[in-house]
Structure 1
Amino acid sequence: MNNGLKFGLIFLGGIALGALGTVTVSRGKLDLKPVAADLISRGIDVKDALMSKVEAVKEDMEDLTAEARQASEKRKAAKASREAGEVQA
């Protein structure tokens, strides 16, 4: 099956699903407000969970960066002391 046919069938399926949803909502048999509120509240929960993970990763990266800076400074200080010892000798 080529991509054009596949995407065409997906498009037609979306149109059919949209038409079915429109008919259902227009007849009033489906109350979307509680469903939408539940969906939005779950989306907020997912966002909060993701943001806590992002903050944890951010803190870990900051710690890693600080450790790397300290190691770099130690290497620079050791190199400077070696060069100063060579100059005096």
Structure 2
Amino acid sequence: MKDLTKVAWGVLGGALLGFAASSAISRGKLRPCTTKLMSYGLDWKDKLIEGAETFKEDLEDMTAEAKEEAKKRAARRQQEARAQNVSSQDVILPEDTAQESK
């Protein structure tokens, strides 16, 4: 019961504080300050989004480079297998295992 009372007082206190803040902002005393604070928040949000997009593009580039490198390794292994007169069926390549799992 004591926890419920604490929660009720917390909700009531938060509502009163919110009402007091909204009335102070609407009267114009805090409006310039809150507007400036919100503009800084929006700038920060834009920088975060820009950073996330840059990070995503970097990951996409690294993934594409990794796929190319894997293809080169597979081609090199295949050439080595042919050079040793081993049939390509005896060499397990990444593409072969992917097709087998489907």
- Tell me if both proteins adopt one fold, taking TM over 0.5 as the criterion: yes
Bigger relative CO (Cα 8 Å, ≥ 6 apart): 2
What one-letter code is carried by the residue in structure 2 that aligns with 1:43?
G
> Residue in 1 aligned with 2:16?
16
Deviations 1:63-83 (A, max 9, x none): 210221122102221232234
Q: 1:52 aligns with which of 34, 46, 50?
A: 50
TM-score, normalised via structure 2 length = 0.59
Structure 1 moving runs of 4+ over 6 Å: none
> Residue in 2 aligned with 1:41?
39
Q: 1:76 aligns with which of 69, 74, 77?
A: 74
What one-letter code is carried by the residue in structure 2 that aligns with 1:15?
A
TM-score, normalised via structure 1 length = 0.66
Larger mean CA deviation between 4-13 and 58-67 belongs to 4-13
- How many residues were matched structurally? 84
What one-letter code is carried by the residue in structure 2 that aligns with 1:8?
A
C-alpha RMSD of the superposition:
2.7
Percent identity over the alignment?
A: 35
For structure 2, list consecutive stretches of 5 or more residues without a partner in the other structure. Answer: 88-102
